[in-house]
Chains A and B, each alone.
Chain A
Amino acid sequence: MSPLERAEANFAWKLVLPTIAVLSLLILYPLLYNIYLSFFDVQLNGDKAFVGLGNYTKLLANPDYYSAIGTTALYLLGTVVGTTLLGLAMALLLKDPFPGRGLVNAAIMLPYVAPVISVVFGWQFLFDPISGVFNYLMVDVLHIWTERVNLIGDPDSALGVVILFDIWKHAPIAYMLILSKLVSIPRDQYEAASIDGYGPVGRFFHVTLPELHFVLATVILLRLIWNLNRFEDVYLLAPNVQTLPIFTYYQAFTGVIDQGLAAATSVIQLGVLCVFIWFYIKKVMKW
């Protein structure tokens, strides 16, 4: 390194130092403290007793933990596939300009920008077994069901509702990301493909899909990362659906409070998340 380069590097460090300091305080310290906690039995009064890997063995012996992993896997699969496909479908449908496209776009974005708490109450009301419009439609109007069902009250069907809710709320972001790429695909590639004898289906698979590859991978991975940690949507709509973040919450803050165990859960989750992020950076963004 020449003296000039060294001086420049020193200057760069000075510039990023404040950011690093703030990030360390807000992110690195809690993170490391969480890992530290996961090796202790933590009392509410603050007393800690070192238990080594005790929390982890206890966690891995708990059948509820595996059930939470299963629920999370279903939740991730349903929401990621659902939002991606719905976003892709909407983007393909609304790609070409038409009168009123701005309004339609705004309407599509609404669920994404609306506050969670208000739309959650809306959904709970929709699926209410007594006065909800969904049961009214299924039982009284369409006569598909013979009796009213509490979809949110029953943990099995509640997972479905939670997945639907997430697709409804987050498909708009997939839509926006996919659309922005879709409109940038050069028109002459479609023209060349049709001259080469390919109809709409062939053009989709040979021109559109390869061009969308990167943005689709981005959407899928971002959705995986976000939804692995998703708490508020699930907990507010149906607290009986135990995905991993909610399982952790129950461990840490309700009933027999066990913060050490909860810390161990989130450390494992962090590990999984790191794998996702590594995959995203290496394979998708190809850094």
Chain B
Amino acid sequence: MASISLKNIVKNYGKTSVVKNIDLEIEDGEFVVLVGPSGCGKSTTLRMIAGLEQASSGDIVIGDKVMNDIEPQHRNIAMVFQNYALYPHKSVRENIVFALRRLKVDEQELQRRLVEISEMLQLEELLDRKPADLSGGQRQRVAMGRAIIRDADVFLFDEPLSNLDAKLRGHMRTEIGKIHNKFGRTSVYVTHDQIEAMTLADKVVVLHDGYIAQAGTPMEIYLDPVNIFVAQFIGSPSMNIVDATLHNDYLQLGEHKLPRNKLSAVSFDDEIPSEGQPVKVGIRPDFFNDKKYFTQSDSSFIFEAMTIELVEPMGFDKEVLFNLAGASIKARLDLRSDVKRGEKLDLLIDLSRVLLFDTNSELRL
């Protein structure tokens, strides 16, 4: 068990800078998810923690030990690779206990742990097979087993579920959550899938272009994003962003005037931006409601008679498209709403959920 601390980590490949400056504290037992689009430096950061890449500058501390010059084999970490990296010539059994053999763990203890892990991951039947004879999901479980059978200080996951189909991915996501609850090891998990990030993490770290855009609990990231990038990256369907103009008493959003004093409190505590300033408005599809089924409160605002251009039923909920201030807006309504394409609908929103961003810097106001 160990905490991890990354101090001013930079990674350059020749002249290309992949990780520009990362400063991150991971507590003992915490489950941290690094999330971001391709090329944001998340995998590189993970590989630097593992010791598979060397940082160009900065310090990596695991526990109380600076790990910069320590080889991976001496860091006492376990890792699940994206392509599993199973040893093709070894049986499932030998793949799983490979690290324990190196540690010269006594045979009885080794068998005990093997039985425990293979039961937990339902691998009992597969122990004598070779990786080539396994399905993708089975290989993934073997890779998990190989990692968790060890008494490692830190677990690292490099997009472990990205090669599985959607159903299996959901299942294994739950399993990984359960395993973390059981063992409580410090874990760093890299993914580009924001659902994995939201569901698994104690702390989500959103990376963008080699920097940390935001780090916080999943709900902080979801409700309180610091900029448009984070706001749009987390949440599915992604946040609607519309151009609007800010006035002294109201926010002009197309033909709608949203009362300013009801808008999200953090935006207007002290300094009032100048009259007529253009801003970007962010509203999550999830926060629109069909007025018929929701009671209004003080902070409610109603977009009246919006023409629904498209309805996408998803089962429990449905996504509807309408036009607002010249932009195509997506709203997510629950199954009670039976609106059809071309009909008009009153949509209700809680003004405290409406976020404002600076047009140029794209930072939250």
**Residue ranges of A at the interface with B (Cβ–Cβ < 8 Å):** 186, 188-189, 191-199, 202, 206-207, 210-211, 213
Contact = CB atoms under 8 A, between A and B. Distances in A.
Contacts of A196: 73, 98-99, 102, 146
B85 A199 contact: no
30 contacts: A186-B85, A188-B81, A188-B85, A191-B72, A191-B79, A192-B79, A192-B85, A192-B86, A192-B87, A192-B146, A194-B71, A194-B72, A195-B50, A195-B52, A195-B77, A195-B78, A195-B79, A196-B73, A196-B98, A196-B99, A196-B102, A196-B146, A197-B73, A197-B99, A197-B102, A202-B102, A210-B89, A210-B90, A211-B88, A211-B89
Contacts of B71: 194, 199
Contacts of B314: none
A211 B89 CA distance: 8
Contact of A198 (B50, B78, B102): B102
B89 A186 contact: no
Contacts of B73: 194-199
B81 A191 contact: yes
A25 B195 CA distance: 70
Assign chain B's interface to a size class.
20 to 34
B238 to A, nearest CB: 32
A191 B146 CA distance: 14
Contacts of B78: 195
A191 B87 contact: no
A171 B266 CA distance: 74
Most A C-beta atoms less than 10 A away, residue of B71, B73, B86, B98: B73
A193 B83 CA distance: 14
B272 interface: no
A263 B83 CA distance: 57
B103 A192 contact: no
A-B pairs with the 9 shortest C-beta distances?
A210-B89, A188-B85, A196-B99, A192-B85, A197-B102, A194-B72, A195-B79, A194-B73, A197-B73
Nearest to A202: B102
Contacts of B85: 186, 188-189, 191-192
A206 B77 contact: no
Contact of A191 (B52, B88, B90): B52
B80 to A, nearest CB: 9
Contacts of A210: 87-90
Nearest to A196: B99
A213 B87 CA distance: 14
B153 to A, nearest CB: 12
Interface string B46-78: 000011100000000000000000011110011
A66 B351 CA distance: 101
Nearest to A197: B102
B62 to A, nearest CB: 13
